[in-house]
Structure 1
Amino acid sequence: MKRTKQIDIRRALALAGAFNFLCSCARACLLPFLTLYFRQLGLSPAMTGVVMGTKHLVSLVWSPVANLLSKHYDKRRVVINGSLVCSAAAALVLLLVLPTDARPQAASCNVSDPRGGPTQSLGEDLLGSSVAPSARTHTSTAPVSQSGVTSTTKTLSDTKTALHHNHNHSRPQLPPLNASVVVNNSAGEPEVGGSFMQHPTTSSAAPVRSKRSKFSSGSEEQLGERKTEEEENERRFDFLGSLKAMDPQHWLFFLTLIIVSAWECASAPLEWTADDGLYEYLDSADASDRYCSTGVWGLLGAACGVGGAGLLVSRLSCFVAGGVSRSAVHFYCYAALAAATLPVAAYLPLYLNKKRCRANGLLKAVRLVRGSPRALLCAITALLAGVAGSAVDNFLLWQMQDHGSNELHMGMSLAVAQVSQAAFPLLAGRFSKLPSSGQVLVVAAASLGLQCFYYSFLWGPWAAAPAQVLSCFSGGALWWAVRVQCEDVAPPGAERSVRRVYVALSLQLGNGLGSFAGGFVAQRFGLTWLFRGAAVGLMAWCACLPLLQWRVPRRRRINYSRLLAADLSEASDSESDQERDWLEKAMDDDRSSNNNYGRRMNH
């Protein structure tokens, strides 16, 4: 007979915690600093917002599809290992194909690193000795916009204009390609402007003209056909011609967009696939209630990753070994930690429960959220929090850099936010009575609005750190209220599916839409008004949310054990005194008969 395999719950939880810690640490080493790297490459705020918004929307669509396919073909471990390897490779590819615009990196490095040399000397070394002094002056005195973003595109265009100007002075001017040339044999020099004609000195000029006229008259139809073919070819290759006419910044934008989309396709299936496999493994051992303990390790890993990466990069010079920019260290840390996660992923406990259908579970969760008014209000709050949070995730480091912060200040500030967010569930567990989930939602949205309003008034390198403590109430309180709302609206066993709906609305759809809108707002009005606009929107929703919650009737979840206890108590109260006396008399008679029977047996 086949023996059942023993399941070690502690070992499974330890491996799951280590896996979540390493994965979160790897992502935190790079993703918070990714938009800062895009800025150093020369992308505008609108371009950065489009790239990040596309990244979130790709994750929104591809994560459930890849999870369903990995479960259908029972390839969860292959998907997890492949996701780790391919995401690390895609990050390194992004680093390898974009070092052509190294000049903005040098300028930004000097802003964030006070130990670096002057910007002008680094720019001159990278531009080379062929740049004219006027071009160097343009490079060192780049104008700054209202948002604090260095106008790298204008600097590069000025440099190219100066180079072209000096180049034109050093070489003679040539005629355009479509110009006609007249050859005069007597002068011996070509003249521009006439038809292509040779002035002969012999008497053979008339036959030549007659032959030429016959040839031109006989080939009019062929020329007409050639013109139509040329017009068709021009229409066909008009798009390719427009691509060739694009400036280097747009080429850089499209190349970055393609690589980031491929990177997200590789990394998106990791979280859902490992999450489902672990939960089903614990559920098979009747230990699914201990699954929530692994989520804290992810927040701690994110705090260690973002703080450690910021500390490490801040201690480096502008260029490390081999002339590589120090911003590339974020990518190398991400790849190294992804490789370190592979041994843990090889022993990660996974289980396949074919009876569970995640596609039907997600559809049922969407119907549950749509059918409950309070759940809908919670979903709208999560969506708005994601829209406003995208401004913080994408452009907070830009705002901090404009006020003198380097990677050390950025990393430590973000680490404080992660630790404070992980502290709210611990604080909530120590209090026996907490406000309702609706009131906590209002507090969470108001705290995020205060954070955004505070970020618009930064004044120094460490100015953003005190506001990160409010993440305990913005992020931590928000997801605590979401968890309570999931328990209220979902039947037993469907809480995770409902929570995934809220995660998709906030962290994927909300962040995606907020990235698109936030990039264009930052481009048009500046970073300061971006944060103020997000704060005003959240505060307006906080004013409307309590009124909407008061108007919506509260539907309580039925607890069958309490209902059964209440029925028994009501039945006992409705009994008459005569029935109680009859029951007590029967019990006394039974006791007396048992006692008499025991006495006879002893005798």
Structure 2
Amino acid sequence: MMKKPAMQKSKQWNIKGAVHLAGIFHFLHSCGSGCLVPFLTLYFRHLGLTATMTGIIMASKHLLALVWRPISSVLARQYDKRRTVIVGSLLSSALVVLLLLLFPSAGIKAESGRCNTSQPSADPTDGSDFTTLESINIPSQSNANVYSVNHKTIITEQPDELSSTYTPTLVNSSSNWSIRAIRSLRNLEEQQEEAPHTEFLGSLKVMDAQQQMFFLVLFVIVLWEFMAAPLEWTADDGLYEYLDFVDATGRHKGVKVWKQLGAAVGTGMVGILVTKLYCRTGTVTEFYSYTALMILTAPTAALFPLYLRKRERATSGGFKALQLVYGNSQALLCAITVVLTGMATSAVSDFLLWQMQDHNAMEIHMGISLALAYLSQAGFAPLAGRLARFLKYHGWLMVLAVISLSLQCLYYSFLWGPWAVVPAQMLAGFSTGALWWSVTSQCEDIATPGTEVTLIRLFEALSLELGAGLGSLMVGFVVQKFGLKILFQGISVILALWSIALAVLKWKIPRQRRINYSRLLAADTSEVSESESDQEKDWLETAMEDARQGNKWKMDKF
């Protein structure tokens, strides 16, 4: 007698455990990113790069992510290599970023007074001496050159033809290291004159130290962003499809708060550590903290909940999202707003720490102030629903966000001390938090089934990558020519004018909504405001009345 085959035990999906594991992963990853990314531009200033150079580097980083992030996400999904991409991105980015520590400073060390430097190092090669050259330009037609070495004036008389017996004359400097620096400059010039111009990378040799530093840092940052960019979208796509398979996509939004909490812990922690250990380690603590946390996140990435699927042809969700935004006036207005706010936010993230440093702020002040901004954004979520119901329409939250960001930038231009930035940081919930809550609600208004996440990604790319890239490129030139105070005041005026125009346009343009029947059936009647129910009823009754009138017109015609 044949035995009946045993019934296979159905696979159990631990949704709660998967969401908790995803929260831990995003917390650790955001904590590591918070240790380094907000402080990058401050490190560029330490290397001696100008505001224009800093803006170009950050713009290249954002624009590369704009192109490479969606492409890498689609490829990882198509070839089912999401886990490999996530783990590889963590480890490779953790190692590549350490290349920046190999570059010596090419400018004045702004924090030289923080540690006791009354006893100079006897070894001229010791890194604690921080000997730098403000000018390395040696004009061939000049008879005298002026340099500044360790804040001391050096005047060299240059004959018409350099010879091996030529020795520079030093004024106000008795350091042997200064003499060696000038001799090395003269030898470098002789080698450049003898080298053929057709030699590979010959153009790089004729650049001064600051320009060489700029291109080296730009190369490392582009390489680092190429490694780090695929991680976030790839992980979010895998988690969303995992939850969608078991009809639990509503829990996907709960992971976002862990990103903000992780960034707050990372910025605050590294700010305290760098300040305490600065005289021993300098700024390397930020880099090593980032590397350690990225490596620590790798084991959680190996267990990260992902939905595995067979190879599929790439979908055209991005083009559908573009069509939905282009065909809706309110969504198009939202897209313009996120690009402008992205440009303004990039100015704040790139140069706010410069403004704080100019007012004697140290890393502890910077880290805690940035942590307060992230906590303010996380704390805005419980208030968003009530505030939207009070305003009767979530679109007015976007106007409130633009006004709040304008006030923040105006406040940044009048800083007077290390802790003066704290009140403005507390407004981050009403600027960044309110903006993205309104954007999410706008996506729900126009989304068709399966396009909600793609629409949110589109607005994120417009703000965090396209807007931030264009903003970084422009504000670098503004800071270089007009200064930080004029930059923040100019941004404040532009945002104030746009908030007025945005309010008028939102009042004039009619609101169009798609009825999401699944959301309406799942929602409790107490969660839907009376005004929204009336609007949906009016819209549905109007559509049915138009359909009846159309059918009646056809019957009369025939």
Task: State TM-score, norm by structure 2.
Answer: 0.79
Corresponding position of 2:324: 368
Query: Counterpart amino acid of 1:172?
Result: T
Once the 2 structures are TM-superposed, how far is the Cα of residue 93 of structure 1 from its aligned partner?
1.6
- The number of aligned residues is 478
SS of equivalent to 1:74: coil
Corresponding position of 1:505: 462
SS of equivalent to 1:462: coil
Cα separation, 2, equivalents of 1:123 and 1:297: 46
Once the 2 structures are TM-superposed, how far is the Cα of residue 3 of structure 1 from its aligned partner?
3.7
Is 1:89 the equivalent of 2:95? yes
Once the 2 structures are TM-superposed, how far is the Cα of residue 565 of structure 1 from its aligned partner?
13
Corresponding position of 1:40: 46
Question: Which structure has the highest helix share of the two?
Answer: 1
Query: Counterpart amino acid of 1:78?
Result: T
Cα separation, 2, equivalents of 1:363 and 1:354: 23
Is 1:410 the equivalent of 2:414? no
Corresponding position of 2:420: 463
- CA distance change for structure 1 residues 12 and 524 in 2, over 3 Å: closer, same or farther? same
Is 1:291 the equivalent of 2:252? yes
Please list, as runs of the form range in 1=range in 2, the aligned pairs for 1:381-400 lying within 5 A after superposition. 381-400=337-356
Cα separation, 2, equivalents of 1:57 and 1:541: 24
Deviations 1:201-260 (A, max 9, x none): xxxxxxxxxxxxxxxxxxxxxxxxxxxxxxxx97855x8433211001111000000000
Q: 2:211 aligns with which of 250, 254, 260?
A: 250
Once the 2 structures are TM-superposed, how far is the Cα of residue 557 of structure 1 from its aligned partner?
2.0
Please list, as runs of the form range in 1=range in 2, the aligned pairs for 1:482-493 lying within 5 A after superposition. 482-493=439-450
Cα separation, 2, equivalents of 1:490 and 1:356: 23
Corresponding position of 2:143: none
Cα separation, 1, equivalents of 2:370 and 2:35: 11
**Runs of at least 5 residues in structure 1 that lack an aligned partner in the other structure:** 141-152, 175-232, 321-325, 572-603
Corresponding position of 2:174: none
Kept after mapping to 2: 8 A contact 1:45/1:523: yes
Please list, as runs of the form range in 1=range in 2, the aligned pairs for 1:195-274 lying within 5 A after superposition. 236-237=198-199, 240-274=201-235
Larger radius of gyration: 1
- CA distance change for structure 1 residues 126 and 160 in 2, over 3 Å: closer, same or farther? farther
Please list, as runs of the form range in 1=range in 2, the aligned pairs for 1:55-454 lying within 5 A after superposition. 55-95=61-101, 97-98=102-103, 100-101=104-105, 104=108, 107-110=109-112, 113=114, 116-118=115-117, 155=148, 162=155, 172-173=165-166, 236-237=198-199, 240-320=201-281, 326-353=282-309, 359-430=315-386, 433-435=389-391, 436-454=393-411
Kept after mapping to 2: 8 A contact 1:59/1:268: yes
Once the 2 structures are TM-superposed, how far is the Cα of residue 164 of structure 1 from its aligned partner?
8.0
Once the 2 structures are TM-superposed, how far is the Cα of residue 524 of structure 1 from its aligned partner?
0.7
SS of equivalent to 2:429: helix
Deviations 1:488-535 (A, max 9, x none): 011233111000000000001111110000111000111111111111
Kept after mapping to 1: 8 A contact 2:106/2:133: no
Task: State TM-score, norm by structure 1.
Answer: 0.73
Cα separation, 1, equivalents of 2:241 and 2:223: 29
SS of equivalent to 1:101: coil
Q: 1:541 aligns with which of 498, 505, 526?
A: 498
Query: Counterpart amino acid of 2:53?
Result: M
Kept after mapping to 1: 8 A contact 2:238/2:306: yes
Deviations 1:68-90 (A, max 9, x none): 11111111100000000000011
SS of equivalent to 1:246: coil
- CA distance change for structure 1 residues 452 and 63 in 2, over 3 Å: closer, same or farther? same
- CA distance change for structure 1 residues 124 and 533 in 2, over 3 Å: closer, same or farther? farther
Once the 2 structures are TM-superposed, how far is the Cα of residue 432 of structure 1 from its aligned partner?
7.7
Once the 2 structures are TM-superposed, how far is the Cα of residue 427 of structure 1 from its aligned partner?
1.3
Kept after mapping to 2: 8 A contact 1:417/1:468: yes
Deviations 1:53-106 (A, max 9, x none): 1000111110011111111111110000000000001111222x21x22774xx
Cα separation, 1, equivalents of 2:227 and 2:164: 51
Cα separation, 2, equivalents of 1:110 and 1:339: 32
Once the 2 structures are TM-superposed, how far is the Cα of residue 536 of structure 1 from its aligned partner?
1.1
